Amino acid sequence: MADAMVHLLLLRHGLAEERRADRPEALRPLTPEGIRRTRAVVGRLAELDLRVDRLVTSPLARARQTAALALEAGLAPSLEEHTALEPGGAGLAGLHAHLADLPGEGRLMLVGHEPDLGDLAARLIGAAPGSLVLKKAGLAWLQAPSVNREVPWESPWRLRLLIGPRQLLGT
């Protein structure tokens, strides 16, 4: 990613355990298969040199685990949590500070949930809500030559890639 563009990578959390009445939704972790597949996905992203300047995750366990695997794979120098990435959170409105802090050629990865990430990507490219869906451990890669820091969705975003884990891993 050597061109002078702002890159936004949206990574959905990996496969998580089923919901249970005796466990809060926020504590639902990845399954062993979810960990394995997510580790392979972030490893592939590292091989493709999709490293980022900032990695921001939802505070929910399954997203934090996914982001930790991305950090472990060397995709980012550090990890931050932000409540705007919780399901139904503030979304783009709560992420202005992260976009504003990026340099002109910045790369930001957000780890979160559906339908929020898909709707965020759709809004940025001017598509209808619900028109883009990220699979578990799937990725949307958007880019813009510049970003309106006050109103990021008015920037000229372009969807560069929308891919599921099977396609990314060739399985």
What is residue 84's predicted lDDT score, i.e. its pLDDT? 87
Whether the Cβ atoms of residue 123 and residue 104 lie closer than 8 Å to each other: no
CATH of 6-169 given 3.30.365.10, 3.40.50.1240, 3.40.50.2300, 3.40.50.1970: 3.40.50.1240
Tell me the whole-structure pTM to 2 decimals. Answer: 0.92
Q: What is the pLDDT of residues 67-112, one digit of tens each?
A: 999 999 999 999 999 988 999 876 666 666 666 666 666 899 999 9
- Find all residues with CB under 8 Å of 86, minimum gap 6, and list them: 58, 59, 60, 112, 113
Q: Contact at 8 Å (CB) between 139 and 10?
A: yes
> Other C-beta atoms within 10 Å of 93: how many?
10
- Where along the chain do its domains lie? 6-169
Characterize the bridge pairing of strands 54-57 and 107-112.
Answer: parallel
pLDDT single digits (tens) 109-163: 999 999 999 998 998 899 998 999 999 999 999 998 877 666 666 778 899 999 9
Provide the token pair at 109. 């990865």
